[in-house]
Homo-oligomer: A and B are copies of this chain.
Amino acid sequence: MYNYKMTISYDGTRYNGWQRQGNTDNTIQGKLNEIVSKYLDEDVDVAGSGRTDRGVHAKGQVASFKVKKQIDTERFVKEINTYLPLDIRVLDMKEVDERFHARLSALSKTYKYVIDNGEILDVFSRKYAYRFADKLNVEKMRTAARLLLGTNDYISFCGNKHFKKSSIRTVTDIDISEDNGKVIIAYTGDGFLQNMVRIMTGTLIEVGVGKRNVDSMKEIINAKSRDAAGFMAPPEGLFLCEVKY
């Protein structure tokens, strides 16, 4: 078997997220499985580095799959994009060692969350940013973000109430930048729980508008309860940007 690693970009607006849910779903994974299988004339099951929620975007999702026939990767990228819908693009394709798996081999991931915090809504980022009109105190958000770093049990930031596996993760960086009215929060870590980036963003936004103390971050982590954290920011502002191996 040959093993391949694809880097993928998608506009998640009209999809029910990454993860395939059946034969009649409308997911990125389902679409890729269907079109890559047809193109290669071989049943392909694409494994993503992780799920992205309904409506979440990707600039650098990674997926791997095994096939019997060897593929001309350069030609594959050119041709597969002519069959894919315009909101999904394969950016890159490489042959990899047979032990490589997009999810299991991932060492770190970077997500970016874009908040449109300008005085007036930016009409051109309606689908690629969360519009939040109240002025955010970015310095306070930065201080709070530092308290969320480290190796912790992040179950308070998990949207799945029935999550049973280990919820310990290492978040190595939360960088908050400002650009023309946008506040961009870049999260890097070895992995993130379901909805974790969106719930952390909602919590940091609550800090930014003074609804929550900077110091309460450690309390939220210690509470080990979803109720302790803030609201879940909507999907349209979130981008999976990079997966490192």
Judge whether A211 is part of the interface by a CB distance below 8 angstroms: no
Beyond A9-B120, A9-B123, A89-B121, 14 additional pairs, beta carbon < 8 A:
A9-B122, A11-B123, A11-B124, A57-B124, A77-B120, A81-B120, A81-B121, A86-B123, A86-B126, A87-B123, A88-B123, A89-B120, A91-B120, A124-B128
Contacts of A89 in B (CB 8 A): 120-121, 123
Judge whether A10 is part of the interface by a CB distance below 8 angstroms: yes
Contacts of A11 in B (CB 8 A): 123-124, 126
State the CA gap A11–B122 with chains docked (Å).
Answer: 9
Give the size of the chain A interface in residues (CB under 8 angstroms): 19
State the CA gap A88–B120 with chains docked (Å).
Answer: 11
A-B residue pairs in contact (CB < 8 Å), sample of 23: A9-B120, A9-B122, A9-B123, A10-B123, A11-B123, A11-B124, A11-B126, A57-B124, A77-B120, A81-B120, A81-B121, A86-B121, A86-B123, A86-B126, A87-B123, A87-B126, A88-B123, A89-B120, A89-B121, A89-B123, A90-B120, A91-B120, A124-B128
Taking Cβ atoms with an 8 Å cutoff, the residues of A that contact B are 9-11, 57, 77, 81, 86-91, 120-124, 126, 128
State the CA gap A106–B146 with chains docked (Å).
Answer: 50
Contacts of A9 in B (CB 8 A): 120, 122-123
CB distance from A154 to the nearest CB of B (A): 29
State the CA gap A196–B104 with chains docked (Å).
Answer: 54
Sorted nearest first, the 8 A-B pairs with minimum C-beta distance are: A11-B123, A87-B123, A89-B120, A9-B123, A91-B120, A89-B123, A89-B121, A86-B126
State the CA gap A123–B28 with chains docked (Å).
Answer: 13
CB distance from A12 to the nearest CB of B (A): 10
CB distance from A13 to the nearest CB of B (A): 10
CB distance from A8 to the nearest CB of B (A): 10
Instruction: Tell me the nearest residue of chain B to A121, going by C-beta.
Output: B89
